[in-house]
Amino acid sequence: MIYTPAYMIRSVTFLLFTLLALHTQAQNLAFTLYLFGDSIGSTKITKKHEAAGDVYVLDTYAKAKILWVTRENHTHYEAVYKDGKLQSSVYYEINNGKKDKWSNIKFDGHQYSADTYMGKKTWTEAPTHGIGTMYCDGYAPNKKRFFNEAQADFNELSFPQANVIEFKSSDGNRNVYHFKNGQIAEVECHTSIATLHIKRTR
């Protein structure tokens, strides 16, 4: 019988506990939404390291009066990236109680398939830089394309000035990301009727 000192057992146990804690520790971000200068809601984003990969979850709740009409929105996004590549994602928007935008993406090991409110599609190129990675991981200088899981399509990035990234999504919106110390500080979403400002609070 091999004798193992108690202090060694305690040390190994502590090490395993620490590794597990680091493995499951979540990254939490918070943003406030502004429209016409007024706060209209919030966005919370988390990133967790799980066995399936890096899991990104975003939830937005907003309420505002636009053109004399009150609009309430809940946006949910969840994506799994493993070894830097998208494995699956779910996205939907509920506007005034009705789910009118959605996207479900799956990877079968060979190709990606998407069922979205804009139709179905398949492709083989692995997305490596999407909504969750942009918010939680910051911008990687070697990335020139952005994958928008909401519409399940790739968008070319432009760089109008230092620490600023811009792209136009297939729904016609112009999105401008402002970075500070490598992380997102503010996002501008320019739509046909208004500009939404998303400012980081945590």
Q: Give Dmax (Cα) for the chain.
A: 80
Q: Are 44 and 28 in contact (CB under 8 A)?
A: yes
Q: 14 in a domain, yes or no?
A: yes
194 and 66 Cβ atoms separated by less than 8 Å: yes
> What residues have CB less than 8 Å from 168, skipping those under 6 apart?
155, 174, 175
At 44, which helix (H) or strand (E)? Answer: strand 38-50
How confident is residue 142, by pLDDT bands cut at 50, 70 and 90?
Answer: confident
Please report the pLDDT score of residue 5 as a whole number. Answer: 53
Domain presence at residue 184: yes
- 161 domain-assigned: yes
34 in a structural domain: yes
Query: For residue range 6-50, what is the model confidence (pLDDT) as tens digits?
Result: 544 444 434 334 334 444 568 999 999 999 999 999 999 999 999
C-beta pairs of 21-30 under 8 Å, 24+ apart in sequence: 23/49, 24/48, 24/49, 24/50, 25/49, 27/136, 28/202, 29/135, 29/136, 29/200, 29/202, 30/200, 30/201, 30/202
Closest CA to 55 of 131, 152, 121: 131
- Residue 162 maps to a domain: yes
Q: Which of 47-51, 93-97, 137-141 has the lowest mean pLDDT?
A: 137-141
1 inside domain = no
Assess if residue 140 is contained within a domain: yes
In the chain, how many domains are there? Answer: 1
For residue 66, name the pLDDT band (cuts at 50, 70, 90).
confident
Q: Containing domain of residue 42, as a range? A: 6-200
Which amino acid is located at 30 in the chain? Answer: A
- Give the pLDDT of residue 115: 98
Please give the model's pTM, rounded to 2 decimal places.
Answer: 0.85
- The answer to whether the beta carbons of residues 91 and 169 sit under 8 Å apart is no
Residues of the chain with pLDDT > 70, as a percent, come to 88
The pLDDT, as a whole number, for residue 18 is: 38
pLDDT, mean of residues 116-136: 95
Q: Return mean pLDDT, the chain.
A: 89
13 within some domain: yes
3-state secondary structure at position 170? coil
**Which amino acid belongs to residue 121?**
K
